[in-house]
A and B are shown apart, each in its own frame.
Chain A
Amino acid sequence: MARLNEANVVYAKEIIGRYPKARSATIPLLHLAQQQDGYVTNEAMKHIGELVGATSAEILGTATFYEMFKFEPVGKYLVNICSTMSCALMGADELMHHAEHKLGIKAGSTTPDGMFTLEHAECQAACTEAPCLQVNYRHRYRVTPADLDRLIDDLSRGRLEGEVPPHGTVARVRQHIPSERAVGAVPPDDVTVAPEWMPAPAEAQK
């Protein structure tokens, strides 16, 4: 159970700085916490509340609304098999049964070695490549049972370390706004006039 570490607090403040209101950084900060600990701890939620100016209960309310946040440890690899219509039409059920068999667990649970968590997922915006799945939110397309076996083996043997970071890490490349180029976020109520490049209302009328 951990609060955000120093490095993450620095990054958290950078993220908060991009928004006109700190509260907007809540979800990115929750991701940061999940990347740090593999799941979102109570301490982290309290800490985020302090950083964005919300009560812990409000942070919990936001966090639990979203699928991706986990509140207890999950496997190093989260395998999400899409089961919405397009995938279902192309054999998602069979794929899921096969996966349960291969991993020896039911959907919604984690292998004893803590390597894999298997989940039913909803549409992953890859419907033409059905049936599809995601490992830590990286897609695999037109997955046959054989593909799945290979994938699980590769992951177990660490062959995909470079390609698939551990659960919690979403994007490995992050935005950094160079201070000399940044316009900077302004509290909404502090802005009252049109941006510099906009013409006077008179011309706007035409």
Chain B
Amino acid sequence: MTTTDTTAEAAAPPPDPNEVRLTINGREVVARKGDLVIAAAQRVGDYIPRFCYHERMSSVGMCRMCLVDVDSGRGPGLQPSCMITVAPGMVVNTQSPAALSAQEGIIELLLAQHPLDCPVCDKGGECPLQDQSFSHGPGESRYVEEKRHFEKPIPISDLVLLDRERCILCDRCTRFADEVAGDALIHFTSRGNDTQITTFPDEPFVSYFSGNTVQICPVGALTAKPYRFKARPWDLDQTESTCTTCAVGCRTVVQSSHDELLRYQGVDSDPVNWGWLCDRGRFNFESVNSADRLSAPQVRVGEELRPTTWNAALARAAELITEAKAVGGAGSIAVIGGARGTNEDAYAWARLAHDVIGTPHVYPQMGDGAQVNLLGFDRATIDETANASTIILLAPDLKEELPVLYLRLRDAAQKRRSRIIEFTQKRSGLSAQAWRTIEYHAGGVTEAVAACGNDPDIVRQLATGNVVIVAGRANLAEHPLEVGNGIVAALQLAPGAKVLPAFRRGNVIGAIEMGLRQGEGGMQVLEIARAAAAGNIECLVLLGCDPLADFPDTDLARRMIAGAPRIIAIDTFLTKSNSSADVVLAAAAYGEKSGTTTNIEGRVTTLSEKVTPRGTSRPDWMIATELAELLGVDLGVSSVDDLTEAIAANVPGFGAATIAALRSARDGVVCRGTLPPATARIATIDERNSYDYRLVVSRKLFDNAVGTAKSPSLAHLAMGSELHLHPLDVERVGSTDGADVKVTSKRASMVFKVVADDSVVRGSAWVPFNQPGPSIGELIDASDVVTDVRVETF
């Protein structure tokens, strides 16, 4: 429930049948059928105190704090406003003496057993119990008995600690774990006054969403390791922003103290994240504070990179570009990356690449090989998807790559709004919710989808209402074109279906729309890589992009870096790839720069600068304008706002994203470019030998990406590189769970630990990408449609 004001609707004739007229504190109020009294009252500005109620979870009526006088015709009586739905003519009094004294009584009882250790409590200063004790409490407690005692605090997971003495048993964290995240690993145990929250012995609260429980805890019972004792709420100073860790674009507040990022909290954006964040997005602020950050630009002097001044570094970069142009022409320069920046960064760089340098060889990222033209389909919003009667998944495991989209779709399936038909090469986080899970082998998506045309149940289901196709790169060892093939096949099953691109990188869609994509005759990423490897690229610009870590074909990436005589990198850290660059320009990171970003829906929202950039590092857009200037062109922008306006003025489909519009619309503005849709291309797959396993490579939420690797609290959560086979296949290759096996592709041969995993389709072999340990990229040839490997014991 957002705070859209219902009075407006009320004014609008004709009265809609769902409206309910009731009286709250003497005022006639219009609410909607099914509204809870507590929510209806809040919407008209009457806040009813509460502890257990949370607008994004089912009500349990546990804490009894929200008792108010409700008269439904049989005289006023105390009712929990979090359980009572509005009814016509209902008279609600949230301020009656009975209500007030009940609330006072509840507070006294809650404080009875509560340790009054507020001065050393993380929640102190932002604690609903503390606040409501002041506003609704009796002032002093007469409780003289012995208080409850527990060992405190106890870790319930790698990230979260629990203080059972402070816990008021509101059932919020447990409800979240069960209802929202689907990880019912924390639960009430014992009974009555002995009730406590616990995990099962040796089964910690392992959840990608555990941080949310800390945020919604109404006392200081749950605390997050990365924030504990870091600051007192009143020292924190905060600003609203959007998480760019992935492309869901969850709304956040970014909090800092003494110019250091200290905490991200979820903000409830109704069309997007409902207040939730995943743990990666919530805790990776640590990487921004990392000591390894680049704090000054670097230039190569012989073997090594040396810090230098911006003037020197930019001059060197301009020089490299000019040389390259002289040697091989503008077409010998390639710009790769930009999917992690803001729209403004991308726009400035697109201008630089296309208009100033004049090269068509521009591509927004390497890793996920996002096909630019996937954005050309009729696209769906997250809400349209989560309300569609059928959701077709042709995507990577959303729980791993777009976690909060996973929560939204899980909710859609749980609440029976949508049925999910999942096509997958490995069972995913959503398989448990899926109405149908159709397993297929890499290269077989077109057939798998088409075959459903013969399943009457599926055909009937698709006819029941709107269909949305969620599509993205499910397998990095499979040719990216297969994604388009899948969509085209699905559209034949469900003509008129909309598409939600499941692209992962923070602002990949913004980057594409802003122009970081092939120009006329431009090469796409694979061709650029090949060209560089063949020595046909004179200057390679790596815009926050790390081919050696990100490109599925490690060997080609290596040859590409080696083959490029000139490399300019813009980045926040030194990486495998950019350490061999000639110039590395230190970039400002998330939280250090403002601007806008575009999520998977095309929703443009604002980012805020909260802390000053590390050292002398600068935002990408500023680097672009300065380079342009050195190359003799004035891009005519001197601030982020100039760029935002320029985008609204010049980028097709983004006219609505003006500064004014973005300031007034908290949930942002949905913009869609005008790219042509992809069309299926038949991929030819060579026969595979019956001993081979078809390789499936995909990402886990926690991997070697800098955001995770440079965040001490998260780094150790990366699972590590290992090969998963179906248990029967582990037997088939004559190995055992946990043993080492030799894995051979036509490229190379490596040793992996094998793990028996029944979520892997028989005949497939799954390996996580970009994990600590042996890099699967060594076995992948990006030119192939699929990758088959032999698995042997020794």
Contacts and interface: CB of A to CB of B under 8 A. Distances in A.
Q: Do chains A and B touch in the complex (CB under 8 A)?
A: yes
Given A42-B200, A42-B201, A64 B190 contact: yes
Interface string A41-62: 0100110000000111111110
B191 interface: yes
Contacts of B190: 64-65
A60 B191 contact: no
Residue from B178, B184, B202 having most chain A Cβ neighbours under 10 A:
B184
B186 interface: yes
A64 B200 contact: no
A60 B198 contact: yes
B203 A61 contact: no
A62 B189 CA distance: 7
Nearest to A59: B200
Residue from A45, A58, A61, A65 having most chain B Cβ neighbours under 10 A:
A61
Nearest to A45: B200
B188 interface: yes
B189 A64 contact: yes
A58 B191 contact: no
A55 B191 contact: no
Contacts of A65: 188-191
Contacts of A59: 200
SS class, residues of chain A in contact with chain B: helix
A59 B184 CA distance: 11
Interface residues of B, number: 15
Contacts of A66: 191
Contacts of B186: 57
Contacts of B184: 54-55, 57-58
Contacts of B178: 58
A57 B191 contact: no
B187 interface: yes
Nearest to A46: B200
B429 to A, nearest CB: 16
Given A42-B200, A45-B200, A60-B200, A55 B189 contact: no
B435 to A, nearest CB: 14
Interface residues of A, number: 14
Interface string A126-164: 000000000000000000000000000000000000000
A61 B189 contact: yes
A58 B179 CA distance: 13
Interface in B175-230: 178, 184-191, 198-203
B160 to A, nearest CB: 14
Contacts of B203: 55-57
B51 to A, nearest CB: 20
Contacts of A55: 184-185, 187, 200, 203
A59 B185 CA distance: 10
A48 to B, nearest CB: 12
A56 B199 CA distance: 9
A106 B715 CA distance: 51
Interface in A65-110: 65-66
A45 B184 CA distance: 15
A60 B189 CA distance: 7
B201 A61 contact: no
A42 B203 CA distance: 11
Nearest to A67: B191
Contacts of B199: 57
Contacts of A45: 200
Contacts of A57: 184-187, 198-200, 203
A61 B189 CA distance: 4
A98 to B, nearest CB: 28
Nearest to B184: A55
Nearest to B199: A57
B191 A56 contact: no
B512 to A, nearest CB: 41
A55 to B, nearest CB: 5
Contacts of B188: 61, 65
Interface string A18-46: 00000000000000000000000010011
B200 A56 contact: yes
Interface string B725-769: 000000000000000000000000000000000000000000000
Contacts of A64: 189-191
Interface string B718-729: 000000000000
A59 B186 CA distance: 11
A45 B187 CA distance: 14
A55 B191 CA distance: 19
B520 to A, nearest CB: 56
A113 to B, nearest CB: 29
A189 B198 CA distance: 32
A45 B199 CA distance: 13
Nearest to B187: A61
A54 B184 CA distance: 8
Contacts of B187: 55, 57-58, 60-61
A95 B178 CA distance: 46
A179 B518 CA distance: 69
A45 B178 CA distance: 18
Interface in B435-459: none
Nearest to A66: B191
Residue from A56, A57, A59, A60 having most chain B Cβ neighbours under 10 A:
A57
A172 to B, nearest CB: 28
Residue from A55, A58, A59, A66 having most chain B Cβ neighbours under 10 A:
A55
Residue from B187, B188, B191, B202 having most chain A Cβ neighbours under 10 A:
B187
Nearest to B191: A65
B210 to A, nearest CB: 14
B263 to A, nearest CB: 28
Residue from B178, B198, B200, B203 having most chain A Cβ neighbours under 10 A:
B200
Interface in B133-189: 178, 184-189
Contacts of B201: 42
A65 B187 CA distance: 11
A187 B681 CA distance: 46
A66 B191 CA distance: 8
Interface in A184-200: none
A46 B188 CA distance: 16
A58 B174 CA distance: 10
A46 B189 CA distance: 15
Contacts of A42: 200-202
Interface string B668-699: 00000000000000000000000000000000
B193 to A, nearest CB: 13
A117 B199 CA distance: 28
A178 to B, nearest CB: 35
A65 B191 CA distance: 5
A60 B187 CA distance: 8
A59 B202 CA distance: 14
Residue from A46, A54, A58, A66 having most chain B Cβ neighbours under 10 A:
A58
A42 B198 CA distance: 14
A61 B185 CA distance: 10
Contacts of A54: 184
B157 to A, nearest CB: 12
Interface string B28-39: 000000000000
A120 to B, nearest CB: 15
Nearest to B194: A64
Nearest to A61: B187
Nearest to B203: A56
A167 B198 CA distance: 27
A57 B178 CA distance: 11
A54 B189 CA distance: 15
Contacts of A56: 200, 203
A17 B299 CA distance: 72
**Nearest 3 CB-CB pairings of A with B:** A61-B187, A56-B200, A64-B189
Given A56-B203, A60-B189, A60-B200, 5 more contacts: A55-B184, A55-B203, A57-B187, A57-B198, A64-B190
Interface of A: 42, 45-46, 54-61, 64-66
13 contacts: A42-B202, A54-B184, A55-B185, A55-B200, A56-B203, A57-B198, A57-B200, A58-B178, A58-B187, A60-B200, A61-B187, A64-B189, A65-B191
